[in-house]
Amino acid sequence: MLTLQIVPYAEISGLSSIGRIRKLLNIAKENKIVLLEGRLTKEEETELIKVTMEEINKNFRGIELAVLEPEQGDMGGLAKIRKGFANVLLGNRTGLTVIGPANVVKQIKKDPNKIQLLTQESRSRKKKKKK
């Protein structure tokens, strides 16, 4: 069974960077897919990867991560960084962050404005699409 947990931005906006990462990672470690409204800062993203690596064990093999940026069009993910520098540094409530535990989500395919989660059990049979 697949569980999605939606995390509104308000639930992380008041937390410290470490607090945010802890909260999101704890959900993923319960084998749930996290849908976060908004996104982390770039530094928090690398911190998330670091903490994930520290906690990998027999039961937790890491995460699949994808960040959808708003109004990206065909500009690609980094246009935003150059355009809205402050936004990147501060994190943002726009966009969408998907964090899937690696044992549940095999792969996240991302096009500029579409995310596909390929889940473990299903491979090609069941594809979950998100717009």
Partner 1 sequence: MIKLVKKFINKVLINIFQKKKHIKLGLYGPPNAGKTTLANRICQDWLGEDMGKVSNIAHETREIQIKEQISLKKDGKELSFNLVDTPGIATKIDYEDFMKVGMKEKAAKSRAKEATKGVIDSIKWLDEMDVVIVVLDATKDPYSQVNITIIGNLAARDIPVLVVGNKVDLKKANMKKVQAAFPQYELIGISAKYGKNVDEFYEALFVLAG
Residue where the block lists tokens 């708003």: 70
Residue of the chain from 4, 10, 42, 70 that contacts partner 1 (CB under 8 A):
42
Record the tokens describing residue 93, joined without a space.
């409530």
Stretch that binds partner 1, among 5-13, 15-23, 29-37, 61-69 (CB under 8 A): 61-69
Using the minimum distance from each CB to partner 1, give the nearer residue, 10 or 127. 127
Among positions 65-124, residues that touch partner 1 (CB under 8 A) are 65-67, 74-79, 81-82, 88-89, 102, 108-112
Using the minimum distance from each CB to partner 1, give the nearer residue, 12 or 108. 108
Residue where the block lists tokens 């535990």: 101
Q: Tell me phi and psi for residue 5, to 5 degrees.
A: -120, 120
CB proximity list for 60: less than 8 A, separation 6 or greater: 29, 101, 103
Should residue 56 be labelled a site residue for partner 1 when binding is judged by CB under 8 A? yes
Should residue 12 be labelled a site residue for partner 1 when binding is judged by CB under 8 A? no
Q: How far is the CB of 14 from partner 1 (least distance, A)?
A: 23
Q: Of 131, 90, 124, 83, nearest to 107 (Cα)?
A: 124
DSSP helix/strand/coil, 121:
coil
CB proximity list for 27: less than 8 A, separation 6 or greater: 5, 7, 34, 99
User: Which residues are at the interface with partner 1 (CB under 8 A)?
Assistant: 41-43, 45-46, 49-50, 52-54, 56, 61-67, 74-79, 81-82, 88-89, 102, 108-112
